[in-house]
Amino acid sequence: MDFVGSAVDVIHTYLIAPFVQQTNYLRSSGANVNDLQTVVRKLMARRNDEQSSLKAAENAGQVKTDIANNWFEDIEAIKKEADALEKKYSQGTGMNSWLLYKLSKRSVELKQMASDMLNEQVDLARRPPPKSVIEIECEPIENYPSTQHMLHRMLDCIGHSEIGIIGVYGMGGVGKTTLAGKVNNHFKKNFCFETVIMVTVSAIPNIPSIRTSIGKRFGLDLSNDNEDDARELLLDALRKNKFLLILDDLWSKLDLKDVGIPHPRNHKGSKILVTSRIQDVCIDMDAIKTIKLQPLSVDESWNLFVEKAGQHVTVDHIKCFARKIVGKCKGLPLAIVTVARAMANRHGISEWENAAREMEQSATELRGMKEEVLVPLKFSFDRLENDMLKSLFLYCGCFPEDYNIEKEGMLNYWVGEGLVDKISSLTGARNKGEALIGSLKTACMLEDGEDEDSVKMHDMMRELALWITSPKSDCNSKFLIKAGQSLKDAPEANQWLDATRVSLMDTKIKELPELGERCPKLATLLLRHSKMIHTIPPTNFLQYMDHLRVLDLSDTQTLEYLPDSLSCLVNLRVLSLHGCKRFRALPPLGMLQQLQVLDLYGCFILEQEILGSECLGTISNLRYLDVSLTKIYFSRGVISRLLKLEDLRLYNAYNIRWRVSSTENEKWDDQGYINNIDVEELSHLTHLTSLDICFRDIIISYWFKSLAKKIRVLILQRCAIIKQEAIQALNESRNLHFLSIQECPGLTSVPTCVKRRLEIRNCKDFKKMLVGVEEAYQDSFQRLESLELRRLPKLERIYVGITPLNCFGNLNGISIFQCNRLKMVFTKGMPRFFSNLKYIAVASCDRMEIIMETTEEDGELEGSDNDRVISAFPKLERLTLRDLPVLVQMCHNGILHCPLIKDVMVNNCPRLKKDPLHIQNVHGLPVIERTKWKAKVLEEEEIQEIQE
């Protein structure tokens, strides 16, 4: 039976079922065609829905998948064939059984295909693949060469194989973000990186947001991952790519590891570019190279202004005012663009004249300046780390526009602010002040001054300080600042009442107002450079300033007296009459018991005793005293009682003479008695760290050694030097700026640590400047800027032996007069150390044969005569050779090439055989015939021609 059952199953499967199915195709052909159309209609409906969804996805930034293209194509094919079958069936009258069978069967097959597609889940859209670079809209820089130069510097650093992280810093609004965008866009066409990403970090970094922004560029959605997973995912993605990451607007160090960014030193080929307003942030980010972005030049500033304001500003009657307005912006693009927008539709002369006046008096009056310039800049102020930095920044606003602010003077003001009380010493306060100034410079809120001892403030930063301290601001400190204005009338009395600081520096004010009531907050009064103030009101002025701590009358050159009401300033800490050339007499200082800084430098005709017995309370707190270039004198015992004094300046104090022993005879001068003080009094000043002093007609011996390390400025005149090691003790001084030794027998060598200027005159025993490395300090003359050697009858060589590294490397001027044994200035090997030399003067040296001795390595052959061209002094600008009877040539077997030479004076050098300089390529200096070099005296007209 099992066999029979199996046979039946086989017959049914292979014979009966197929026959029935084939028969059904014929019997149900119409139904099959209709069923197909039903499914196709549903499929088309889904197609329409998916197309709408796809369009929305594309609008959201997604792209169509390749599968989607195939899917839609398959639907269209099914629809087309289904319609063809339906049409064929509807027109099928007379269709034979075989054709009807095939049509019905195909309808069933298509129905199944359509049903499958109807139920199929298909990803029709996806996120687009990460772009290598997403272009950022930036302002064009083609017309701004300095900006293009900065861009090229940045790109050069990025291209350098050894530089992984590059820092770009500069003040707010100077164009850092624009340049960062330009760097980003540069790699749109230059395929150096697989991925370039620019992210704005801002003041308070949001690490998850930064991580998400970077991750999106790699198709990662990190928003829902926990911190550790998100960090690892991003780290893995970046490690697989050669990337350039631009982190814009950093305000503090960003930990790359926390974000999930591999450090370039561990991921060769990848780079990170950081922009910040603060240089230290770039350094904290491990930037190997930092670049400071400077403001635009004058021409570039004008071009930007014209571009944004319109060509109407170039019309003559507007241009003069427009130039003034642009000048006030000092090259800051943010300010220039803001002002240009405000003036774009202004065509009237009166409008421009008024705008120029507003910019001169207060830039905040001009539309847009406050909101678009000062508010963004204030963010830098708000981010300063402490109140000291903020106070120092605001203090700098007291100085006139474009003023070169001397750091020492400003730091003395800080004594008045009470900084000394907190730090306990003037030296500590100055060091702290220097550090604060450095912080403001790295934050690009102060700039380098004309020398290392000064700073400047950008005009827009000064406007910020004035805005913050204006009467309308919410700042606690209100300033009354009229510094640098052509002001003839002093502010009215009611304007003084709420001010904490008043600055009338560099004005034309003749009279100060009488104040009707007390100024309870006034702590600082700055009147320096007010050249037309003759007197301080004797009544109703200083009496109302009992809280005053700083009174600066420096360079008030018509001022002759101070009123007795000065004694009312019981809280005064700083009194400066620096450079008051006509000042005649100080009132009693006995009530000024808080006084810590007294500066009388350059009061040439001030001749009186100060700090006498009535001032015992005053001198107890004095830390800084400068009576240089005055006729001030002291009673014996006064200096030894200045127990807190740290900085004493007695440079050319005409009425003060020193004696080593009280048994020495009193000294007299042409006008009569001169005050004699025992040098022992200086030994009582245990806090003294800086001393400017002049010793005349005394013996320099062991007593000098204890003072030497404290000396900043020293003049020795007619002093017998019996212990050479006493002079050499000056090498222990860290701050020896100026040393002048005149008519001092026994001098055989000089200290090598002088920082600024060294003069040696009329010293009959002096033979050489420096001898060999074994006798030289390693830093010998490294910081010396100016050297003068005059009337030294035994001087034979400036240097003997091997020159220490960097010796004379900072020297910019050397003058040698009447040194009649000296045959040459620069011996072999020396010239290469004088790379910063700008001025050489040699005169009246009877045996001077050659200025510079050279070796074959110092030059190369050039010209038909095969002369060696020596390029020893690349910065030399002035050369004077005068009264040198045996001078043969400038340098041995060669001619000197000086590309920057401007002024040449050759006078009475009859044996000079060649042009001392290789000058045929020097711009602006005419070539002089050799016959004229041989002349004993150049005609005055010829000398003038050379100088021009």
Q: How far apart are the first and last CA of the chain?
A: 134
Give the whole-angstrom CA distance, residue 34 versus residue 801. Answer: 113
Specify the residue for token string 């307003």: 277
Using CA atoms in the order 539, 542, 547, 552, what is the torsion angle rounded to 10 degrees?
Answer: 180
Q: Give the residue among 670, 677, 672 at the shortest CA–CA distance from 698.
A: 677
Residue 587 carries which DSSP code?
A: P
Confidence of residue 452 (pLDDT cuts 50, 70, 90): confident
Return the number of other C-beta atoms located less than 10 Å from residue 867's C-beta.
Answer: 16
- Please compute, for residue 821, the number of CA atoms within 13 A of its CA located in the half-sphere on the CB side: 13
Parallel, antiparallel or unpaired: strands 243-250 and 454-456: unpaired
Q: For residue 87, which phi and psi values (nearest 5 degrees)?
A: -65, -45
Give the whole-angstrom CA distance, residue 789 versus residue 813. Answer: 11
CB 464 within 8 A of CB 475: no
With 80 as the cut, is the pLDDT of residue 616 above it? no
Q: Give the residue among 382, 450, 389, 438 at the shortest CA–CA distance from 414.
A: 389
| 73, 184, 434, 448 from 451: Cα distances, Å | 77, 37, 15, 7
Residues 322, 323, 329, 331, CA torsion sign: positive
User: For 343-352, how does the pLDDT look when each residue is reduced to its tens digit (9 = 90+)?
Assistant: 888 878 888 8
Residues 6+ apart with CB under 8 A from 165: 264, 271, 272, 273, 274, 285, 286, 287, 288
Q: For residue 249, which phi and psi values (nearest 5 degrees)?
A: 65, 55
Burial class (CB in 10 A: 0-12, 13-18, 19+), 188: middle
Q: Residue 226: what residue type?
A: N
* DSSP state letters, 306-337: HHHH-GGGGSHHHHHHHHHHHHHHTT-HHHHH
With 90 as the cut, is the pLDDT of residue 499 above it? yes
What average pLDDT does range 485-502 have in this prediction?
Answer: 89
Confidence of residue 867 (pLDDT cuts 50, 70, 90): low
- Element (DSSP H or E) covering residue 4: helix 2-11
pLDDT winner (highest mean) among 650-664, 751-765, 771-785, 851-865 = 751-765
With 50 as the cut, is the pLDDT of residue 946 above it? no
Lowest mean pLDDT among 97-101, 442-446, 603-607: 97-101
Confidence of residue 863 (pLDDT cuts 50, 70, 90): very low
CB 797 within 8 A of CB 827: yes
Residues 6+ apart with CB under 8 A from 691: 647, 648, 649, 650, 682, 707, 710, 711, 712, 713
Tokens of 352: 């421009």
Confidence of residue 580 (pLDDT cuts 50, 70, 90): very high
Give the whole-angstrom CA distance, residue 395 versus residue 523. Answer: 12
pLDDT winner (highest mean) among 10-24, 32-46, 741-755 = 741-755
Using CA atoms in the order 936, 941, 944, 946, what is the torsion angle rounded to 10 degrees?
Answer: -60
What pLDDT does 343 receive? 84
With 50 as the cut, is the pLDDT of residue 920 above it? no
What pLDDT does 628 receive? 96
Return the number of other C-beta atoms located less than 10 Å from residue 236's C-beta.
Answer: 13
E strand intervals along 785-877: 786-790, 797-800, 813-817, 824-826, 839-843, 850-852, 859-862, 867-870
What pLDDT does 940 receive? 39
Give the whole-angstrom CA distance, residue 843 versus residue 821. Answer: 13
- Element (DSSP H or E) covering residue 150: helix 145-159
Q: Which long-range contacts (CB under 8 A, 24 or more apart) does 536-540 make?
A: 536/512, 536/562, 536/563, 537/511, 537/512, 537/513, 537/563, 538/563, 538/564, 538/565, 539/514, 539/563, 539/565, 540/514, 540/515, 540/516
Helix (H, G, I), strand (E, B) or coil at 945: helix
Q: Residue 546: what residue type?
A: D
Give the whole-angstrom CA distance, residue 801 versus residue 782. Answer: 17
Residue 681 carries which DSSP code?
A: G
Give the pTM: 0.78
Q: Give the residue among 490, 480, 468, 573 at the shortest CA–CA distance from 519.
A: 480
As a whole number, the mean pLDDT across the chain is 84
What pLDDT does 855 receive? 67
What pLDDT does 74 receive? 87
Cα-based angle 748, 751, 753 (whole degrees, multiple of 5): 160
Q: For residue 753, which phi and psi values (nearest 5 degrees)?
A: -100, 10
* Category of 628 on φ-ψ map: left (φ > 0), alpha (ψ -120 to 50) or beta: beta
Residues 6+ apart with CB under 8 A from 387: none
Tokens of 908: 């009475």
Confidence of residue 6 (pLDDT cuts 50, 70, 90): low
With 50 as the cut, is the pLDDT of residue 651 above it? yes
Helix (H, G, I), strand (E, B) or coil at 850: strand
CB 313 within 8 A of CB 319: yes
With 90 as the cut, is the pLDDT of residue 547 above it? yes
Tokens of 854: 């050279």
Return the number of other C-beta atoms located less than 10 Å from residue 240's C-beta.
Answer: 11
Give the whole-angstrom CA distance, residue 134 versus residue 153. Answer: 22
Give the whole-angstrom CA distance, residue 452 versus residue 441. Answer: 12
DSSP bridge partners of 244: 196, 271
Specify the residue for token string 């450090």: 263
Give the whole-angstrom CA distance, residue 525 versus residue 255. Answer: 46
What pLDDT does 939 receive? 40
Q: Per residue in 410-444, is it b (16+ CB within 10 Å) or e — as a string?
A: bbbbbbbbebbeebeebbebbebbeebbebbebbb
With 70 as the cut, is the pLDDT of residue 153 above it? yes
Give the whole-angstrom CA distance, residue 537 versus residue 519. Answer: 15
Give the whole-angstrom CA distance, residue 363 versus residue 365. Answer: 5
Give the whole-angstrom CA distance, residue 800 versus residue 775. Answer: 11
Give the whole-angstrom CA distance, residue 64 versus residue 691. Answer: 81
Cα-based angle 166, 150, 255 (whole degrees, multiple of 5): 20
Give the whole-angstrom CA distance, residue 845 versus residue 832. Answer: 24
Residue 851 carries which DSSP code?
A: E
With 50 as the cut, is the pLDDT of residue 921 above it? no
Q: Which residue has the higher pLDDT, 157 or 7?
A: 157
Q: Give the residue among 161, 178, 171, 219 at the shortest CA–CA distance from 195.
A: 219
Give the whole-angstrom CA distance, residue 767 versus residue 771. Answer: 10
Q: Which residue has the higher pLDDT, 442 or 895?
A: 442
Confidence of residue 198 (pLDDT cuts 50, 70, 90): very high
Helix (H, G, I), strand (E, B) or coil at 905: strand
| 315, 454, 693 from 737: Cα distances, Å | 53, 16, 12
CB 199 within 8 A of CB 289: no
Give the whole-angstrom CA distance, residue 721 versus residue 730. Answer: 14
CB 462 within 8 A of CB 328: no
Cα-based angle 189, 194, 196 (whole degrees, multiple of 5): 70
Percentage of the chain beyond pLDDT 70 is 87
Tokens of 632: 């001030």
Give the whole-angstrom CA distance, residue 707 versus residue 703. Answer: 8
